[in-house]
Amino acid sequence: MKVFIVYAHPEPKSFNGALFRTAQDVLKQTGHEVKVSDLYAMGFNPVVSRKNYNTVKDPDYFKPQIEDMYATEAGGFAPEVEEEIRKMEWCDFMLWQHPLWWFGLPAILKGWVDRVFAMGRTYGGGRLYENGVFKGKRAMLSLTTGGPAEAYAKGGFNGDIHAVLRPVHRGILQFTGFSVLAPHIIFAPVRLRDDQRKDILEGYARRLRQIEMEKPVDVGEY
Ligand X SMILES: Cc1cc2nc3c(=O)[nH]c(=O)nc-3n(C[C@H](O)[C@H](O)[C@H](O)COP(=O)(O)OP(=O)(O)OC[C@H]3O[C@@H](n4cnc5c(N)ncnc54)[C@H](O)[C@@H]3O)c2cc1C
Chain positions contacting ligand X, by CB under 6 A: 9, 11, 13-16, 18, 99-103, 144-147, 189-190, 194, 197-198, 201
Contacts of 188 (CB under 8 A, 6+ apart): 144, 145, 146, 147, 148, 149
Least distance in Å: CB of 120 to ligand X? 32
CA atoms of 47 and 36, how far apart (whole Å) = 20
Burial 63-88 (b: 16+ CB within 10 A, else e): ebeebbbbbbeeebbbebbbebbebb
Residue closer to ligand X (CB basis): 74 or 149 = 149
Residue closer to ligand X (CB basis): 156 or 216 = 156
CA atoms of 145 and 113, how far apart (whole Å) = 21
Least distance in Å: CB of 6 to ligand X? 15
Residue closer to ligand X (CB basis): 154 or 215 = 154
Q: How far is C-alpha 21 from the geometric centre of its chain's CA atoms? A: 16
Residue closer to ligand X (CB basis): 14 or 30 = 14
Least distance in Å: CB of 214 to ligand X? 23
Least distance in Å: CB of 148 to ligand X? 9
Residue closer to ligand X (CB basis): 11 or 58 = 11
Three-state DSSP at 19 gives helix
Would you say 101 and 145 are in contact if contact means Cβ atoms under 8 Å apart?
no
The candidate with the shortest Cα–Cα distance to 27, out of 211, 203, 215, 185, is 211
Least distance in Å: CB of 112 to ligand X? 17
The candidate with the shortest Cα–Cα distance to 148, out of 181, 206, 196, 91, is 196
